[in-house]
Structure 1
Amino acid sequence: MDHVAIPQTLQPLLELYLQALEQVQDHIYGLYVCGSIALGAFEELTSDIDIVVLTVKEWSAADLETLAEAHRSLLQEQPLARRLEVAYMPLQALGKARQEVEPYPHFQNGVFTPARYGDQNAVTWWILQL
């Protein structure tokens, strides 16, 4: 697969998002842009912004509140933040089916949820292996 550039219109949002994650960076193994952006099919007006954040340690209640606050701040500062769909997936969940892992933090449609499943499927695993 050829390199796919992240659309310029998303750069300010992604820069703010990376800054917000600095508060919980000790949890993060890696951050991966997936979905339509990774496949070169992003539609400026309609596509969501799919991100998988692979994590390496358990989330305490305080950590989850910090993460929720980071997303609340993003929503206030950046209109496109509502289109983010972020799965904070444990590294050991990589490549596994939903029934094989515990729910994990997730952000979708402007709502942060401390424990649910994201769009964990074969297409996501295929994109992440590249």
Structure 2
Amino acid sequence: MSDELNPPAGKVRSWLAAEIAPLLPDEWRIVPGISTVKTLLVPAVYFEFTELEKVTGLPVGHARAVLDLIVVDPRTDLVAGEDQVDDHLVDLVLALDGHEQINWTGARKESIAEQFFGWRVALTILTSISKE
């Protein structure tokens, strides 16, 4: 495994944003986090880096990053928002299925920032770790 194939753990969110951006509909935006969602005007995606796991069998200096990709629709009409996001979510997970470095393990609906509808997609990515 080379570092080119496995992004550094400390930069996994920015790497993921670059990988995901071409898979998103044109009107969607990648935002830095939940605080941005509260003022959202267009459908958006953000990432939460939740865990770094040691994986038996991987060479020293590699680990598995666990992230959540959150898809949020700004509509306060939850029925319209749900229908719109459902369609895009299906397209997104189909695109993720074909990605060699990103593994999605499940997706669940939830309320985001107590005012929007969204999906939380669990992802894992093999990363490199170092003291650089």
Please indicate the TM-score interval, normalised by the length of the shorter structure: 0.3 to 0.5
- Higher RCO (C-alpha 8 Å, min separation 6): 2
- Compute the TM-score of the two structures, normalised by the length of structure 2: 0.44
Larger gyration radius, structure 1 or structure 2: 2
- Say which structure is richer in helix: 1
